[in-house]
Amino acid sequence: MARLVRSWLAAMLAGLAAPALGGPTPELQEQVRVAIAGLASPRLAERQSAEQQLTDLGPPALPYLPPLDLVESVPAREALRRTRIHLEKQSAKDSLRPLLITFQGHQTVDGFTRELEQQSRVKIRLSEKLSTAPATQPFSNKPQPFWRALDSVATLAEGRWRFADEEEVLQIDPAGKDLASIPAPESWKTSPESFIVRLVEFESKKLESSQLLRFQLGIAAEPRLRPLLFTHAASDLIATTADNEQLHAWNPAARYETAAGVASREWPITTEFLLPESRRTTAISLQGEIAALVATGRETIVFDNWWNGQRSWLRRGGATAALGRVRITRTPAGTDDAEVEITLVYDTDAPPLESHQRWVLHQAASLRTDDGKLIPFARSEVSEEQGGGMTVRYTFEGIPDSRTTSLIYQPATALLSVPIRFQIAGIPLP
């Protein structure tokens, strides 16, 4: 076992293109090597001590853990399985901490925007119609979560942010008069603060003996995070009047699923309540909980010569991707259509999703041309394999020349279910 593990560590470190989870260091490499060797000890106490040593190293040790199929010792293999699960969960929880932004001094709106962009590494674009006059007051120099900082800059510019058409680009536009019924960001609270739930639109419709109140919420994650699925029941969201009387949901038995997909954006959540004519109120408050399935492990696997039909496999993080059958057809238009099969197998247990939900794990696949252009897949089909693996058949259309492209695959290698709790106070009635 030791020889196999040494070979794995050497190959992994030689092929590491950039620091990951704290970066490779000789000290960490040696600590991992010693601990892994101890897992195969014939003495129970030494095996337990070695497992605790690996656990104490924390998530930075994850890139150095060998594939389970390279570990011959059964006790060592089971210890590594437990350690990987524990460290992946810890890493996932750590990743949900909000990014903190610190502003200092008097600056123009453009200056604060550039500072926010630099600290967050998120592309932020200001509309040409916005004012860029110097700020009349300095921002607080206390660290604030990314979404609060973005709201602060948008408020200073008398604007409102949104996701632009380009992936992972945020734009601040003029607020407009249509936002008069939407409370200021100070009245929004979301936990964890790496997410934001805000009111996007609110309308009221007159019924026979009541008003139907329809709220469209927007839920978003920091662009560095990758939510896959949002779920909630109608009973998970609560609306109350100004005197704290709870309203009835329009469809109290309903359950909702929103597939988040790949691109960073704000996803809509619509909820409806009934306000009886007998109840008089000037404002409504909303609160509740929405469950998010977040891919906290996002590994990039690149198959450079996928088009030659040669079967191959690559391992990243806690999963192995095997390239299967490839079929390329030349079209009358002079472009290629391609069908590509990829089988994904997890080292540890596969994500606990229902069969109709598992497609959300495989929405990050594209072809990259020599000039960097990405071609997304047109369709996909998911099927389960024996042993817990999943095979996905991707269909790509309109490829200029398959031989000048690489297949980019980003499977979800670590998942975490996150309860997102929010409160929006003082929504004025129209």
The burial of 128, by beta-carbon neighbours within 10 Å (0-12 exposed, 13-18 middle, 19 or more buried), is given as exposed
Query: Which pLDDT value is given to residue 295?
Result: 78
Q: Are residues 343 and 385 in the same domain?
A: yes
State pLDDT tens for residues 106-123: 778 888 899 999 999 999
Q: Are residues 404 and 304 in the same domain?
A: yes
Q: Are residues 239 and 283 in the same domain?
A: yes
The answer, yes or no, to whether residue 2 has pLDDT greater than 90, is no
Whether 291 is in a domain gets the answer yes
Whether 428 is in a domain gets the answer yes
Whether 394 is in a domain gets the answer yes
Residues 6+ apart with CB under 8 A from 418: 96, 192, 195, 291, 292, 293, 294
DSSP secondary structure letter of residue 165: S
Whether 190 is in a domain gets the answer no
CATH number at residue 421: 2.60.40
For the chain, counts of helices (H) and of strands (E): 6, 24
Whether 187 is in a domain gets the answer no
Q: Are residues 211 and 229 in the same domain?
A: yes
What is the distance between the alpha carbons of residues 60 and 76, in angstroms, rounded to a whole number? 20
Crossing angle, helix 2-14 and helix 26-38, to 10 degrees?
A: 160
Q: Are residues 326 and 423 in the same domain?
A: no
Identity (one letter) of the amino acid at 315?
A: R
Task: Determine the 3-state secondary structure of 335 from DSSP.
Answer: coil
The answer, yes or no, to whether residue 386 has pLDDT greater than 80, is no
Q: Are residues 230 and 215 in the same domain?
A: yes
Q: Are residues 119 and 246 in the same domain?
A: no
CATH number at residue 173: 3.55.50.30
Query: Which pLDDT value is given to residue 361?
Result: 60
Which range is least confidently modeled, 100-104, 345-349, 411-415? 345-349
HSE (CB half, 13 Å, CA atoms) of 1? 20
Q: Are residues 139 and 152 in the same domain?
A: yes
User: Mean pLDDT score of the chain, rounded to an integer?
Assistant: 82
In the numeric block, which tokens belong to residue 23?
């970066």
**Residue of 98, 365, 318, 124 whose CA lies nearest to 224:** 98
* Domain, as residue range, for 235: 199-296+414-430
Query: Which pLDDT value is given to residue 420?
Result: 96
Q: Are residues 322 and 380 in the same domain?
A: yes
What is the distance between the alpha carbons of residues 37 and 54, in angstroms, rounded to a whole number? 11
Query: Which pLDDT value is given to residue 264?
Result: 63
Query: Which pLDDT value is given to residue 335?
Result: 95
Q: Are residues 418 and 289 in the same domain?
A: yes
Which residue has tokens 């990743």?
95
State pLDDT tens for residues 219-236: 999 988 888 889 999 999
Query: Which pLDDT value is given to residue 5?
Result: 44
Whether 66 is in a domain gets the answer yes
Q: Are residues 324 and 406 in the same domain?
A: yes
What is the distance between the alpha carbons of residues 212 and 272, in angstroms, rounded to a whole number? 7
Residue 195 binned pLDDT confidence (cut-offs 50, 70, 90): very high
DSSP sequence for 271-297 = EEEEEETT---SEEEEEEEEEEEEEEE
Query: Which pLDDT value is given to residue 350?
Result: 54
Whether 194 is in a domain gets the answer no
Crossing angle, helix 109-120 and helix 146-156, to 10 degrees?
A: 160
Which range is least confidently modeled, 16-25, 83-92, 115-124, 329-338? 16-25
Number of domains in the chain: 4
Boundary-marking domain end, from 44, 74, 95: 95
Whether 189 is in a domain gets the answer no
b/e map of 157-166 (b: 16 or more CB within 10 Å)?
Answer: bebbbbbeee
Query: Which pLDDT value is given to residue 286?
Result: 96
Q: Are residues 158 and 252 in the same domain?
A: no
